[in-house]
Amino acid sequence: MIIEFNPLANINYYDIDKYNIQGFIYSLLKDTEFANYHDVKGFKFFNFSNIFPVSNFVYGDQKTLIISSPSSAFIKILYYQLSKIDVFRLDKYFMEIKKLKLIKKLSCSKSLITGTPVVLFKNNNENRYFSFNDGDGVDFNFFFKRLKDNAVKKYNAYIGNDFSLDSELFDSFEINREVSIRMNIHNNKFIIIGSLWKLEKNISNHDKDFYNFLFDVGLGEKNSLGFGFLNNRR
């Protein structure tokens, strides 16, 4: 789903973070069949893009947000809830809806680019994220093994089946850069480390549904916070 909107104030771009966008999405789920989704343990099957263009919010200048999910019911509820209002809030700032658009299901192409950083825990117990700059050396094998394990586990949790991927998750890859993202959650500041990629995969018919699922829900962890968002690369 695409949301086009105009800010009703001049705002620094980074004054609205991914936690604010996630909170906005959860607020739309109140009094729906997904009302308790925030409290569900485990994976949350939705994702969202950066707000773009990536520049300061200027009163009346259009911005765009894309929300994706493998669940058409989830997306339709968001669309219905938004269609009833003209203005919504991100943190303390108000936005005027200009256009809503449901996107026909897109297929994952063989050439992908990450629109938002891919995040993986290197050590869950220590709350330590995988970083290629932490002194342990560049270990792509470890990274993509963990990424594949996460993707398959997430897919099986969604379909309630026992799918396995016999090949590598991607045939080739190119890292763009590693980034750190500052988050402010309940007045506690966090830094999340992620990485941006160009990815290639010749997708077999057997694995097509799996990759389409990843295209909708994202790669890695913290997808419901807008990480791991995928775009087809032209």
Per-residue pLDDT tens over the stretch 68-86: 999 999 999 999 999 999 9
More confident residue, 233 or 136: 233
Q: Where in the chain is the domain with CATH 3.30.70.1890?
A: 2-101
**Amino acid letter for position 95:** M
Phi, psi dihedrals of residue 167, rounded to the nearest 5°? -100, 175
Give ranges for CATH 3.30.70.1900 in the chain: 111-232
195: nearest Cα among 147, 124, 233: 147
**Residues designated catalytic:** 26, 38
47-56, 102-111, 145-154, range with the lowest pLDDT: 102-111
Does pLDDT of 123 surpass 80? no
pLDDT average, residue stretch 26-54? 94
Mean residue pLDDT of the chain comes to: 93
Q: Which of 46-50, 98-102, 137-141 has the weakest average pLDDT?
A: 137-141
* CATH among 3.40.50.720, 3.90.380.10, 3.40.50.300, 3.30.70.1890 for 2-101: 3.30.70.1890
CATH code of 111-232, in short, is 3.30.70.1900
Cβ-based neighbours of 210, under 8 Å, separated by 6 or more: 151, 152, 155, 163, 165
Q: Which are the contacts of 44, defined by CB distance < 8 A and separation ≥ 6?
A: 37, 223, 224
pLDDT at 221 (0 to 100): 95
pTM of the complete model: 0.93
Q: What's the whole-number mean pLDDT along residues 104-126?
A: 87
